[in-house]
Structure 1
Amino acid sequence: MFKWLDDFLNSITMYRLAVYGLLTILAYAVILAFWGALFFTGPQLILSSGVLYLTCVSSNYLLSRLFKAQTNVESSTITALILSLILSPFTKPSEIFFLVLAGVLAMGSKYLLASNGKHIFNPAAISLLILNLFGCLVWDYLSGGWGVR
């Protein structure tokens, strides 16, 4: 009865399934933002997600070369999508810095907080923890708060 579902799930990796799931949630958020149901606009969410994606993928690539580690683009994509769904989109150009910082911190934690080539903590969670512990006052001052508004 559900053979098509079994075939689909057996044909993709866990990482790819996570990317599809997170992209689906982000797509719903973009639709809601365009309808005016959220506190930010669709373009703000799309641009912020793009900034996080480019930051995570590029910093992951550079760090993998620096640490001579194997990597895949799906891992950094998942982290970027998680951050996109948690952090508020930027509304002023000065807030882009914090999105870039969140992405770089997340990718850096994959290599600095690792054991036997595997990251110990979720990179997005570590990034948000660091931003919360050390940067929340600056973030609050510049953007009016972090997280979902």
Structure 2
Amino acid sequence: MIARLDALLGRVTMYLLMIGILGVLTALALVLALTGVISIDPLAILVSTVVLVATSWIANQVLGIAFRSRPLTESGIITALLLLFVLEPTREPAGLLGLVAAAAIAAASKYLIAWRGRHLVNPAALGALVAGVSGLAFSSWWVGTAAMLPAVALGALLILWRTRRLGMGVLFLAVGAAVQIAVVLGAGATCPRRCRSPSSPARSSSPPGTC
């Protein structure tokens, strides 16, 4: 089983694997939006995807000519799809302008903030950060829903397996779970204080076992 999985993933490049996974997630999000499972405008998802991919491709071509470098189309598509999932989909002109800015900034960072061909910052993260801080776009981890979780988890598992980073993924989950447990326990410890009735400080106004 493991050998078959390795053979299957080994037939495609990492770029194509990423594009395939992000493409499936985009299609799934569109279907879920159309069926009302997630509260996102399906047309906004479609328009935002087209705008981000087109802007990323154009920016990469222009920058490639300016820096006399061969632009990597696959990298641009990956960046555009990552931006789709961290910025709020929109079809409003002002919002689409923000997406254009984010994609252009992300593309520019690959040439301007790099050392010996390696990115010093994550292009998609930088584009989302600058566009968000400037108010041109709004950060929104809208893909983080229960309906999308199985597909997102499977995609993450395939990437971790392909890059031999399963240990890193397990560590991330362990740290995340520990933080979540600490937050829940902390909220539970302070909950009775918030639930006390002003007229009776020693008694909770909520039913036993609730807050």
- Is the 1:64–1:71 Cα contact (8 Å) retained in structure 2? yes
Q: Does the 8 Å contact 1:44/1:89 carry over to 2? A: yes
Aligned to 1:58: 58
Corresponding residue for 1:129? Answer: 129
Equivalence for 2:120: 120
Task: Kindly indicate whether the alpha-carbon contact (under 8 Å) linking 2:48 and 2:91 is maintained by their aligned counterparts in 1.
Answer: no
Q: Which has the larger radius of gyration?
A: 2
Alignment of 1:32-111 (within 5 A): 32-111=32-111
Q: Is the 8 A contact 2:57 2:73 kept in 1?
A: yes
Q: Which of the pair is proportionally richer in helix?
A: 1
- Pick from 118, 121, 140: which aligns with 1:147? 140
**SS at the partner of 2:49?**
helix
Task: Name which of structure 1's ranges 103-112 and 32-41 shifts more when overlaid on structure 2.
Answer: 32-41
Specify the alignment match of 1:142 in structure 2.
Answer: none
Q: Take 1:90 and 1:28, find their aligned partners in 2: how far apart are those partners?
A: 18
List per-residue Cα deviations over 1:125-146 (Å, max 9, x = no partner).
Answer: 011121233x13x55xxxxx54
Q: 1: distance between equivalents of 2:35 and 2:56?
A: 28
**2:85, 2:140 within 8 Å by CA — same for their partners in 1?**
no
Percent sequence identity over aligned pairs: 33
Distance (whole Å) between structure 2 residues aligned to residue 117 and residue 67 of structure 1: 12
Q: 2:77 corresponds to which letter in structure 1?
A: T
CA distance in 2, matches of 1:108, 1:72: 13
The separation in 2 between residues aligned to 1:118 and 1:131, in whole angstroms, is: 23
In structure 2, the residue corresponding to 1:90 is in which secondary structure? Answer: coil
Q: Please report how far the alpha carbon of residue 3 of structure 1 lies from its aligned counterpart in structure 2 after TM superposition.
A: 4.3
State the shift of 1:148 in Å. Answer: 4.0
**Paired residues, what number?**
142
Query: What does the per-residue CA deviation read over 1:24-77, in whole Å, with 9 as the maximum and x for residues that have no partner?
Result: 111111111111223322221011101000000110111011011233211001
Q: Is the 8 A contact 2:56 2:104 kept in 1?
A: yes
Aligned counterparts of 2:88 and 2:107: Cα–Cα separation in 1: 19
User: CA separation in 2, counterparts of 1:124 and 1:94?
Assistant: 20
Q: Which runs of 5+ in 2 are unaligned?
A: 143-211
Aligned equivalents of 1:12 and 1:146: distance in 2?
31
Q: Distance in 2 between matches of 1:71 and 1:13?
A: 17
Superposed CA RMSD in Å reads: 1.7
Kept after mapping to 2: 8 A contact 1:44/1:91: yes
- Counterpart AA for 1:83: L
Q: Which residue of 2 aligns with 1:17?
A: 17
User: Residue 94 and residue 146 in structure 1: after superposition, are their counterparts in 2 closer, same or farther (change >3 A)?
Assistant: same
